[in-house]
Structure 1
């Protein structure tokens, strides 16, 4: 058996949330060890040199929601973090030769939307203003642990008076913030709980604008734009400031792994020990309290605190002996929805896409942001309809970015990396296995792009295909769900990961969740890690 070691806290998983949690604990003077299964840090926020000279953000690819407070607290800019804004930020080509280009420039949006509807051009600033008002109310909620307001049975959890008072204060602050919305409150409730399609159809008449905005509501989710809850992600369009201004999404210079590397450097300077290629085998418990972890190579690491940044399924159903968990809690964990239908295709290109609607050579402004293949809202619906029966979409939705349009550090001179995020590729297939069909489905995606940019197939020099099954295998995310659990209303806020345990704690003393399986959920925010560290420090030191 390998030699044992002891720390104040162990963090399972070296994704961005785990690294943030570890850094904050170390900042408070604790001896912390991060255990990462892979040889590279970052989890889904990682950069890998897949081909000589190509530094690819293999999974996550843009940043906006990352908390500015974390950047300041951990001095990430001093560690080399640079975010490159994307302007313009959105481009939707159409089969009829037209296109829609949008971004933070209000005048540009006005001109572009007016090509399709003067009414929509007038409505769009009002729509954005509503989203910004609601987002301003919501953002503080992301910056602290969620309350547990439900009257759960005492057999489920005994909550002390101090937590009850803290939760009451959080709920009162939320009440006052919601009251500040005034007449916008019903619209805010619909944005938080309703479906994206009816909202967008009331606001706008042009299908291309509806479809462009609706794509944001379903990326990373196995849901329809007509499903309740899909509207919530529309708010992400105006949230976050990591891109340099509110709602501006950016690229991390050097790839998404540069963010994780900056957090890791900050943590290591604070005393965090990071172990790569150190897969956890089990979490050890004695008399209802965590005592440490065991690694697959037999190493034993003792610690009174274990913070897990992997999902709830791995934490509670793989690493723990089921007998140590209360039956009701274990049942609730087993019922978490991990439905997913996302696939990632990374392409190395000899030249940028030249769209038939906007022929070009070299990098042009429309290459800077997200390029959408999904021309109508019915197109988005049909793609989902096929997937819900266990079949990959015949006409997939493509959300593409080309970070090399603004970052010259990640590919050889004159070459480009096209990141293609694909919907819908259901994890559970009806009549096939992903290992057998993923390359053919990737061919279908490239062929669909070629309908709009005919030069792409001939420009491809290298290709990586990550099916939902590959996402699960490589990144350790159950069902290939990039959010560590579906972001449905019943799995958000006070219900994440399960009702009664939304504050990062668990029935096992000293065992916490610090990843996207906890509030506020998926996305490169860092909030899960920061909030968890605050609760750990509140409890123990």
Structure 2
């Protein structure tokens, strides 16, 4: 006989947003179960062994966006052991002993830029002020529930007017957001800077995780998305001791202490809809979990295309979800090594003493100019992997000694482009060839590193999709372009974490405000669920 259990609320998926949502619901007194398809919890925020004695943040790799409110509300640092480690400033090698530095410290960035272009260095403080002011507005918007501006009912009109009133003092700064949402990263930055190497430092962020180049319209916004973190480090980026899995382990510990039941190996077969209401969740092994409130942390494409019976999803919503873009070109490689890459600039960098107590940069970008970034995108645009991919070498073991045997290191390589689908071939045939391109690119700046490799794990988009049920392996659960933000994420009319079905909600990163380990989609969804329950 099939298992049947009842709860007040069921959350599908034990990724960080699912756990955040579950924790807020449980804290409000609801009996909550979280169902996770994998043997391990955490979604993309997990720490696992990938080679004997070596552990890594397998998918997500640095902490930037996890909101201080989430950390505080769930006592992640004060009670549940979360420990943050400050990254070094970001260094980008330019060839030979040349390098460029990007720091939260404006004057350090100015000093670095001045070596290449004094006018750009003088301009940078004004640019930083401009971007910070725009970022402050967007940080407020992160916590908003997107409303539908096309609805004429009183509730929707009230939400629209309330939103406009809250942001009435933004004034002329709203044009900055319009520029960021519509311009290419290159055009936006070219209004401020002359030197292509300096522009590349910031344009790099527009390419991370997206099927875009720095000259693609709308790519400017992605710069801000990546520097929106509120923690110490270049652009607010840092590490978690023990890897990103420590975040989800701490969230789960809080949840269990507040009555949340977490069930692993619970792959979902169906969300049952009866009379236009979600009533239960059925797992692939036949177990039935009933609840008046069902929340999915899975990508919206999974929810509407795979978990709800065909024919129940309204035609217009189905069309929008089918066209919601998740095509990924990002790769991730976790490398066990004797030592991190020995870049040719290291001796000069150490002599310059620009990294303070750091003897080696924990965070780097390999892309010396804008053309390098754009050419990497050009290859992918025509269905092939980059001949010279841009790469972020990240070395957490400079700080975190829990991830590797003594004297050894873990280096995470993240970059692009590696299209989900290849034109005229497939990844089973081309993975080794692309791996060679990655190492060839790094060894242009750090010769001989291949000799220090002990083992590695190499993930291209189909691998990420398979392991995480993340459509096409997109790390942000969908492109962060104007047509897939706020009102329209994941679809117009359903951006408020609700669905066409009573009692069914979505809380993952395919909702506003998008991807990254922030916890904000899960928090916003929980707020709307509790409002609906209060209304009865």
Question: What is the TM-score of this pair, normalised by structure 2?
Answer: 0.95
Corresponding residue number in structure 2 for 1:405 = 398
Q: 1:327 to 1:188 in 2, by over 3 A?
A: closer
1:499-535 deviation per Cα after TM superposition (whole angstroms, max 9, x unaligned) = 1111000001111110001111111110000000010
Give the distance between the partners of 1:441 and 1:366, measured in 2 at CA. 31
Corresponding residue number in structure 1 for 2:85 = 84
Give the distance between the partners of 2:372 and 2:164, measured in 1 at CA. 40
Corresponding residue number in structure 2 for 1:330 = 318
Q: Secondary structure at the match of 1:333?
A: helix
Q: Secondary structure at the match of 2:201?
A: helix
8 Å CA contact retained: 1:344, 1:465: yes
Q: 1:177 to 1:308 in 2, by over 3 A?
A: farther
Corresponding residue number in structure 1 for 2:288 = 300
8 Å CA contact retained: 1:38, 1:278: yes
1:290 aligns with 2:278: yes
Give the distance between the partners of 2:454 and 2:219, measured in 1 at CA. 36
1:509 aligns with 2:477: no
Q: 1:426 to 1:279 in 2, by over 3 A?
A: same
Q: Secondary structure at the match of 2:435?
A: helix
Corresponding residue number in structure 2 for 1:391 = 384
Q: Secondary structure at the match of 2:163?
A: helix
1:207 aligns with 2:208: no
Corresponding residue number in structure 1 for 2:72 = 72
8 Å CA contact retained: 2:51, 2:456: no
Identify the match of residue 190 of structure 1 among 170, 176, 179. 179
How many aligned positions are there? 528
CA RMSD of aligned residues (A): 1.9
Comparing 530-539 with 479-488, greater Cα deviation is found at 479-488
8 Å CA contact retained: 2:185, 2:206: yes
Offset at residue 34 of structure 1 (A)? 0.6
Offset at residue 218 of structure 1 (A)? 1.2
Give the distance between the partners of 2:70 and 2:136, measured in 1 at CA. 18
1:477 aligns with 2:470: yes
Corresponding residue number in structure 2 for 1:520 = 513
Q: Secondary structure at the match of 2:191?
A: helix
1:216-235 deviation per Cα after TM superposition (whole angstroms, max 9, x unaligned) = 01100001211121111211
1:264 aligns with 2:242: no
Q: Secondary structure at the match of 1:398?
A: strand
1:133 aligns with 2:136: no
Comparing 127-136 with 441-450, greater Cα deviation is found at 441-450
Offset at residue 147 of structure 1 (A)? 1.7
8 Å CA contact retained: 1:91, 1:366: no
Question: Superposed, which structure 2 residues align to 1:132-531 within 5 Å?
Answer: 132-151=132-151, 161-174=154-167, 176-179=168-171, 182=172, 184-241=173-230, 243-244=231-232, 247-359=235-347, 365=358, 367-531=360-524
8 Å CA contact retained: 2:8, 2:291: yes
Give the distance between the partners of 2:484 and 2:176, measured in 1 at CA. 21
Offset at residue 441 of structure 1 (A)? 0.9
Offset at residue 144 of structure 1 (A)? 2.6
Q: 1:246 to 1:391 in 2, by over 3 A?
A: closer
Q: Secondary structure at the match of 2:71?
A: helix
Offset at residue 366 of structure 1 (A)? 6.8
Q: Secondary structure at the match of 1:50?
A: strand
1:198-242 deviation per Cα after TM superposition (whole angstroms, max 9, x unaligned) = 11122112221111111101100001211121111211354221x
1:11-34 deviation per Cα after TM superposition (whole angstroms, max 9, x unaligned) = 111100000000000000001111
Corresponding residue number in structure 2 for 1:154 = none
Offset at residue 476 of structure 1 (A)? 0.9
Q: Secondary structure at the match of 1:324?
A: coil
1:15 aligns with 2:15: yes
8 Å CA contact retained: 1:345, 1:442: no
* Unmatched tracts of structure 1, length 5 or more: 152-158
8 Å CA contact retained: 1:17, 1:526: yes
Question: What is the TM-score of this pair, normalised by structure 1?
Answer: 0.94
Give the distance between the partners of 1:15 and 1:92, measured in 2 at CA. 32
Give the distance between the partners of 1:368 and 1:164, measured in 2 at CA. 51
Give the distance between the partners of 1:168 and 1:366, measured in 2 at CA. 53
8 Å CA contact retained: 1:147, 1:171: no
Offset at residue 469 of structure 1 (A)? 0.5
Comparing 196-205 with 364-373, greater Cα deviation is found at 364-373
Offset at residue 97 of structure 1 (A)? 3.3
Q: 1:22 to 1:163 in 2, by over 3 A?
A: farther
1:293-342 deviation per Cα after TM superposition (whole angstroms, max 9, x unaligned) = 00011111111111111111111110110222212212221111112111
Give the distance between the partners of 2:165 and 2:207, measured in 1 at CA. 31
Q: 1:23 to 1:41 in 2, by over 3 A?
A: same
Offset at residue 108 of structure 1 (A)? 2.2
Corresponding residue number in structure 2 for 1:98 = 98
Give the distance between the partners of 1:446 and 1:256, measured in 2 at CA. 25
Q: Secondary structure at the match of 1:229?
A: coil
Comparing 354-363 with 384-393, greater Cα deviation is found at 354-363
Give the distance between the partners of 1:226 and 1:196, measured in 2 at CA. 6
Q: 1:534 to 1:493 in 2, by over 3 A?
A: same
